[in-house]
Amino acid sequence: MVSITGKAATSRTARAACCVVFSSPTALRLIRANQLAKGDVLAVARVAGIMAAKRTPELVPLCHPIALSHVSVDLRLPDDERQAVTDKRKRKGWENAIDIETTVSCNGPTGVEMEALSAAAAAALTVYDMCKAVDRAMVITDLRVVFKDGGRSGRWVEGAREADDGRGDAGGCRGGGGDVVAKE
């Protein structure tokens, strides 16, 4: 484990995203109607993501335990105005997908990227578990960090060429594909 003893506590935030792509619209229809046998998929996936963020050091062996100050898990369905079905999504066959975006914050000596990734992965796995009876061909894809802020390296935004307004809203399956680090 890397020592963080000499690092100052600073405000840190990370955002991660991924996507669950269904093979047909059936699962999404059942999720919207809350008609799946295992219950409310969106609510359970949110709780699973929050729990995973809090327990990341138990899942990832060399992660430091961090006192988190905020965890949010946002799941967006295709008809949500925040999730546009773009041409790129249609080409990839992702019209029937749930976008998942997580945000984790803390005031500490190390970043929270792993906690954000754990939250997104656990939320996606929960969606898969709860929907597998109606769609065994669904795919979890595009798990990645889309935004991080704080610490020595400053701000990084997926797809950004320089520092932006801090929203880091690449979200879901759309992705940005950038790797530029922008220091404040």
Indicate the SS3 state at residue 19: strand
Over the range 47-72, which residues count as b (16 or more CB within 10 Å of their CB) and which as e? ebbbbbbbebbeeeeebbebebeebb
Q: Is 149 labeled as catalytic in the residue annotation? A: no
What distance in Å separates the CA atoms of residue 55 and residue 152, rounded to the nearest whole number?
A: 25
Rg (CA), the chain: 17
Q: Spell out where the chain has E strands.
A: 10-21, 68-76, 97-108, 139-149, 155-157, 181-182
Residues 6+ apart with CB under 8 A from 3: none
Which of 79, 129, 142, 165 is labelled catalytic?
129
| Catalytically active residues, by annotation | 129
